[in-house]
Structure 1
């Protein structure tokens, strides 16, 4: 599946091996095999072994990432050294999800520990003030494939309260990702599993800021997230109108593209309209 239309990503704690096949079969666009926050310190070794066993039998599907512990911490080096020995990681079939990235040197350290010839796609979680301040430098690292926020840690460090308090940091990484040519950042997990209405409203706020897609803690959140990022009928109609106007301009050789109401559109708007149509078809 193209990363550009990845909408849902489901976390699965590697300490619970019975959940890993279920996560792969959940319909999520990406499965995030977690060795970090969802795993108790006493279960880290077992979780690492479970993750390696999963990679042994990994089906031929894209979108699997392993979230390791931080490379400067107690468990991260073992995670990275071990993963670096697996053929799936060495072949680039598995992505690396790196938490608490404060700067591009954290990415370099993780790759040094991984010690593979071809770096995997690295997805960086920015969870500190330092990470937000260095977002543009992190995004520009050649191995980095995407940015996301770790909002719980940010809230603790910065004293953030309520959904609206994240607006600036969300916008900051949206701009950093776009400037580096990366996909729009996905939103962080919504921790209240019993509040689908709150999840939908939160997704709408993130989408309005330029974020796209979201990580989930439970499969029941996946359809709510998909619906929140699905283009509505008005957006889809507008996209078709733009694409049809562009096709007409190409056919008559005019080069100028105008909608029936007289508004002019340009090439980036046409490209965005085509992406909207593609996304709506996939999420239909």
Structure 2
């Protein structure tokens, strides 16, 4: 199984090592130790020195600081010494940073490209096709800040769709959607996850353990979808009708994917 084909990934601040083990029992599929936004500049060095990976068997991803920052190279040097599943590169663009990481023999860790800028979305197909990149994720909040647009579904629809298409063209796992900033509203979190799944996303970034269960619920097909998929596959092969609609092989392929998600 691809370790990076996760549905839920939980951020934990790199300067709070006492939270690492707690994150590992949150129910998340993967843990992202964050050296970037969650860590103040004065704590960057301390966070880097506190990095450990032996606290869990779950995939551990390290979000390093961006290529334009003074902490980037030291973060990568630290990553090369750890048992990581991947590095998450923020503000990913085709600006040479991915090439530099890929060219470093000590840094042949898979990359998750976190796309957070207009240029990143414009470069998404090239980023997804890069041999270093194993999955892409959407940093929707930073993206909205870059564009000056609202963090709303209509405003983000085109960009989200482009990331889904870029991933499919590169034969990558479906991309990871951005965070929901609300923590206490489980219904809203689940609805955001359902919206992402409907667009073709395969997972979602989480910022609090309380988000794990509703995100998982949002990506799980509901009973009506499962029942429909079973009726479709019961028709056998060739053209048929289910619930008054035509069924053929593309419809059956969708039904099989629904049942795979349900499992």
TM over 0.5, shorter chain: yes
Task: Give 1:241 deviation, angstroms.
Answer: 2.4
3-state secondary structure, aligned to 1:97: strand
How do 1:1-284 and structure 2 match up within 5 A?
Answer: 2=2, 6-51=6-51, 54-55=52-53, 57-61=54-58, 63-86=59-82, 88-89=83-84, 94-103=85-94, 105-112=96-103, 115-116=105-106, 119-163=108-152, 164-245=154-235, 248-249=236-237, 256-259=238-241, 263-266=246-249, 268-281=250-263
Task: Give 1:160 deviation, angstroms.
Answer: 0.9
Superposed CA deviations along residues 53-72 of structure 1, whole A, max 9, x for unmatched, are x22x25433x3211111133
Structure 1 residue ranges, 4+ long, deviating more than 6 angstroms after superposition = none
On the 8 A contact 2:88/2:112 being kept in 1, the answer is yes
- Rounded to whole Å, the distance in 1 between the matches of 2:11 and 2:151 is 23
On the 8 A contact 2:232/2:247 being kept in 1, the answer is no
Superposed CA deviations along residues 112-141 of structure 1, whole A, max 9, x for unmatched, are 45x327x22211011111101000000001
Task: Give 1:269 deviation, angstroms.
Answer: 4.0
On the 8 A contact 2:111/2:132 being kept in 1, the answer is yes
Q: Do the aligned partners of residues 46 and 4 (structure 1) sit closer, same or farther apart at CA in structure 2, a change above 3 Å counting? A: closer
Task: Give 1:19 deviation, angstroms.
Answer: 0.6
Task: Give 1:274 deviation, angstroms.
Answer: 2.6
Superposed CA deviations along residues 72-121 of structure 1, whole A, max 9, x for unmatched, are 311110000121133x24xxxx21111101116221123345x327x222
Q: Which residue of 2 aligns with 1:253?
A: none
Point out the structure with the larger strand share. Answer: 2
On the 8 A contact 1:126/1:147 being kept in 2, the answer is yes
TM-score between the two structures when normalised by the length of structure 2: 0.90
Query: Unmatched 5+ residue regions in structure 2?
Result: none
Task: Give 1:204 deviation, angstroms.
Answer: 2.9
On the 8 A contact 2:124/2:166 being kept in 1, the answer is yes
- Rounded to whole Å, the distance in 1 between the matches of 2:261 and 2:192 is 20
Coordinate RMSD, CA, aligned:
2.1
TM-score between the two structures when normalised by the length of structure 1: 0.84
Superposed CA deviations along residues 236-279 of structure 1, whole A, max 9, x for unmatched, are 1122223333xx44xxxxxx25345572321x543432332232
